[in-house]
Each structure stands twice: as structure tokens, then as C-alpha cells.
Chain A
Amino acid sequence: MFDFLSNYNDPTFLGAFWMTVKLTVFSAIGSLIWGTLLAAMRVSPVPLMRGFGAVYVNIVRNIPLTVIIVFSSLGLADIFRVTMGAGGDVKLQAFRLAILGFVAYTAAFVCEALRSGINTVPVGQAEAARAIGLSFSQVLGLIVLPQAFRAVIGPLANVLIALTKNTTVAAAIGVAEAAYLMKGMIEKDAQTLLIGAIFAFGFVVLTLPTGLILGWLSKRLAVKR
């Protein structure tokens, strides 16, 4: 029943899911960094930065992800010739462009999750920190963000799970991940239900543990107030 899975060599079944994992991990790291910076901008005392953060988040999170990913390839790569340091390697370039798109998009959601976490930190904490002479970046980095992160592990887990599933959009620009392989398989084997079920199961295997572990962590690490 499953012997057709071994008919595929480029990518193989496991290779395709490995690509999904790589896309997810790199994009998650990137969007955590960029999202944190955006959140810092949104709560900063500088109006220009607050404005930039708000405009960025509200625009980017309202653009369909497919549009962002296809634009990163058609617009950035094909028209503006951004090569992402991949030399002439088209596949590597598509992979990096996809990550760039995922980071740009997911960071908006990370930023908003984090901002809600910052709101859970009592104002007195920041006031006390300022009173002992800490600068804005010290207040944020030492006092507010550590507490905020512990409050939003649950919401960030949701963003991570959404990101894992969103990586399937990369198939639109030819990144050989799970959805890419699935498309080829359905076209060649015409076993839509079986193949669909296998790939759905693959994603459950990826995301269920993520949800369980981070859910457990969020309970353990939450700041009890």
C-alpha cells in the first residue's frame, strides 16, 4: 500500500519533510529575532520607531503569505536580482528567499504576541528599574522582556505551529518541501486521499510534540502573580 513512497528520489519522502523542518527552524529563529526588535520598537519612547513598528506589523500581517513568498521570488529575485548570496544556485536561492519571506511575515505575529506579554508586566517593574538608573534598553532587556517571554510561550507556540504549516507555501516558488512532494505524488499516482492522509499525518507528527512541549513549558515558566 505504501510502496509508492519509495518511488520518489528527488526529493525523497524524508528529505521533503527534512526541508520542511529546516524552513521552520531557520524561519523561527529569524522571526524571533526580528519580531523581538519590532516589539521593542513598538514600546520604545521614540515616536518614529513606534510608528515604523506599527505600520510594518499592520501592513505585513494583512498581506496573504502566498503573495509575500511569490513576491520574494518574482519581485526580489527575478526583477531586482537579489541573489541572497547563493551565487548561481537557483534552488539555494529559492530556499533563502522563502525563509526571508517567512521571517518578514511571522515576525509581525511574534511582535504582537510579545507586545501582549509586555502588557502583562506590571508598570511598577519598569518604574522601579528606571528609578535605579537603568536605560531604556536595560529596562527592556533585563526586566521587562524576560518576564514578557515567560508569559507568552503559549501564544508563541501557536505562531510556531502556524509557521510549520505555512512553510508549505514555499512549494509555490519551487522549494522541495513536503507540499511540493505531495503535489508531484498526487499528480503521478492519483491516490489523492491516501497521499493527503500521509502528509497530514506527517505534519501532525511535526506539530503535536511542539504544542505539547511548549504547552508544558509555558505552565512551568509562567510568572505567578
Chain B
Amino acid sequence: MKLRKVSAAAATALVLALTATACGGDDSSNESGSGSGSGGGDKIKVGIKYDQPGLGLKNPDGSFSGFDVDVATYVAKELGYEPKQIEFVETKSADRENALARGDVKFIAATYSINDERAKLVDFAGPYLLAHQDLLVKADSDIAEGTDLNGKILCSVTGSTSAENVKKDIAPKAQLKEYGGYSECIAGLQSGAVDAVTTDDSILAGFAAQENYKGQFKLAGLKLSNENYGIGVKKGDTATVDKINAALEKMVSDGAWETAVKENFGPAEYKNEPAPKIGDIK
């Protein structure tokens, strides 16, 4: 079985490489079909991030935690899947559109900001959280406004747009230090090598809420942009979008949404926005 799966994957890769088009769709759906069949019982595959504390994190013991995970679990339950039937799959930012198009995952809840470009490739349910680009600084830092960053060192992740926004529009004289992940930036912030870390406030709050950083950092609260997190669904699958929207509305109205926000971001004293209006994509 394992060998068959590997050879099927190799064949898929070969077909994809030879044609370099999306014609491999049939193959991959067959493959995932046989894969879930052998598992016994229906499973649902959900895309999350593995490396964002407070949102989507794979813990050392193999369990998953975070706000995105809570939302995904709730939505999956409304779609008829118990927590043990959920299989979480890591979907990195660059691979999210492809994972949905290939059918690797049913939906993605992974700090997926809704924007026009992405909406051309995938359908969005939600939004389920309104985040803003913000700065994380040391608790005793005097950086209060964006312009205070001029001449300071700002840390962000390679290829992310948030740091570019700051450099272009807010503090052109800020210096940009980039790492592969936010953990390295946070370590730099702790040691004082960087003055601020920038990305969505929800992500920053998740890091600041970690046990070993508690009380050391604060959010500047700048609200530099509006990021509406949506749940990504394969383009054209409007039935699933409607079902997820109904699930999200229920989650907000029965208080589970508020509880999840408090649990995951609470320790960072993150002032979250109220739940966004579900289904209001634009």
C-alpha cells in the first residue's frame, strides 16, 4: 500500500512536470480517495499553519492548538466530523492555493487574509477574524507611532509584505532585518538586536502569549491595515462556503468564538475586534 501510494505520487509528480498544467487533478483526487478509504471511516483534511503559536501550532506532543485550530474544529463539527476524524495538514503560505486546487484539503484556516488576488484563485468563507498589521515591541519600549521606527531596526519574515508596507509608507528610514520565521525575530527582540517585529497583531499576540515571553512584550496598537481572515475553499465549491458560513455564525452566536479568542490571545492582553460580519467578503 505504501509503495503504491509512493508510486502514485511519483506518477502524479511526473505528469505534472511533463505537462506543467493543472491536468493532474484527476490523479490526485483518485489518490486521496484511496488514501482516506484505507483509513477506515470518513476523515476530513483541514489546512492549518504548524508554526504560529496562538493561531495554528503543532505541539511537541503532536497535538494542535490555537485559534485557527479551534475555528477549524468547530466548523468541521458542524460539517459532521468529530475531532478525531479531523486530519490537520500543514499548508504553508505559498502553497495554500495549490493545496485547495489539488483537493489535498477540504478547507484552510491558516491566517489566510482575504484579498482580491487570492479571491480569484480560491473561494472564501468568513471572515472569522479581523486582524491589523501591528508592531510588537519590548514592554518598556518608547515606540508609540509608526514614524518612531525611523532609524530603528524592524524585523519581519522573508517575503512578507508587512515589512515592505512599513518601509514604503510609514518609516522609510527604518532598517529591515529578515528571518525565515517569526520565532527568530522574537528572539532578536528579546535580546534587543531588533527594535520591533511587524506582522498581523493576532500573530504577534500569539507569540507574546507564549509562556516564556509573558510580560516582556507589548503591542503598539497601530492598526496599520485591515486583514480579514477567511476560510479558503476550492474555487467554485459554494455549497461548502455556505455550510462553513453557517457554522461560523453559530460559533459567534453561541459564544464559542469569544471563548476561543480569550483563550488563545488573552495572556497577551490583545484587544480583539468584535466578530466580523460573516459572509461579508468585500
Q: What is the CB-to-nearest-CB distance from B212 to chain A, in angstroms, rounded to a whole number?
A: 16
Residue-wise interface mask of B (265-277) relative to A, using a CB-CB cutoff of 8 A (1 in contact, 0 not): 0000000000000
List the one stretch of B50-58, B171-179, B241-249 in contact with chain A: B171-179
Q: Which of B94, B160, B175, B184 has the most CB of A within 10 A?
A: B94
Interface residue? A84 (CB, 8 A): no
Q: What is the CB-to-nearest-CB distance from B179 to chain A, in angstroms, rounded to a whole number?
A: 6
Across the interface, which residues of A come within 8 angstroms of B153, CB to CB? 90
The B-contacting residues of A in range 136-186, CB under 8 angstroms, are: 171-174, 180, 183-184, 186
Interface residue? B39 (CB, 8 A): no
Contact B193 A70 (CB under 8 A): no
Nearest A-chain residue to B189, judged by Cβ? A78
Known: A74-B187, A74-B188. A180 touches B180 (CB 8 A): no
- How far is A90 from B195 in the complex, measured between Cα atoms in Å? 12
Nearest A-chain residue to B17, judged by Cβ? A193
Across the interface, which residues of B come within 8 angstroms of A77, CB to CB? 193
- How far is A45 from B112 in the complex, measured between Cα atoms in Å? 62
Tally chain B residues at the interface, Cβ within 8 Å.
27
Q: What is the CB-to-nearest-CB distance from B254 to chain A, in angstroms, rounded to a whole number?
A: 36
Q: What is the CB-to-nearest-CB distance from B164 to chain A, in angstroms, rounded to a whole number?
A: 8
Q: What is the CB-to-nearest-CB distance from B21 to chain A, in angstroms, rounded to a whole number?
A: 9
Contact A94 B187 (CB under 8 A): no
Interface residue? B191 (CB, 8 A): yes
Nearest A-chain residue to B194, judged by Cβ? A78
- How far is A171 from B17 in the complex, measured between Cα atoms in Å? 26
Interface residue? A187 (CB, 8 A): yes
Nearest A-chain residue to B101, judged by Cβ? A190
- How far is A77 from B184 in the complex, measured between Cα atoms in Å? 12
Contact B94 A192 (CB under 8 A): yes
Contact A184 B179 (CB under 8 A): no
Interface residue? A46 (CB, 8 A): no
Contact A70 B184 (CB under 8 A): yes
Q: What is the CB-to-nearest-CB distance from B16 to chain A, in angstroms, rounded to a whole number?
A: 7
Q: What is the CB-to-nearest-CB distance from B101 to chain A, in angstroms, rounded to a whole number?
A: 9
Residue-wise interface mask of B (145-175) relative to A, using a CB-CB cutoff of 8 A (1 in contact, 0 not): 0000000010000111100000000000001
User: Residue B158 contacts which of A81, A171, A193, A194 (CB distance < 8 angstroms)?
Assistant: A171
Contact A172 B94 (CB under 8 A): no
Contact A173 B178 (CB under 8 A): yes
Interface residue? A88 (CB, 8 A): yes
Across the interface, which residues of A come within 8 angstroms of B180, CB to CB? 70, 171-173
Ranked 6 nearest A-B pairs via Cβ: A174-B178, A78-B193, A184-B159, A172-B180, A183-B159, A90-B175
6 cross-chain CB contacts under 8 A: A90-B176, A172-B180, A174-B178, A180-B159, A183-B158, A183-B159
11 additional A-B residue pairs with CB within 8 Å, beyond A78-B194, A184-B158, A190-B121: A70-B180, A90-B177, A172-B158, A172-B180, A173-B178, A174-B179, A187-B160, A188-B117, A188-B161, A190-B94, A194-B20
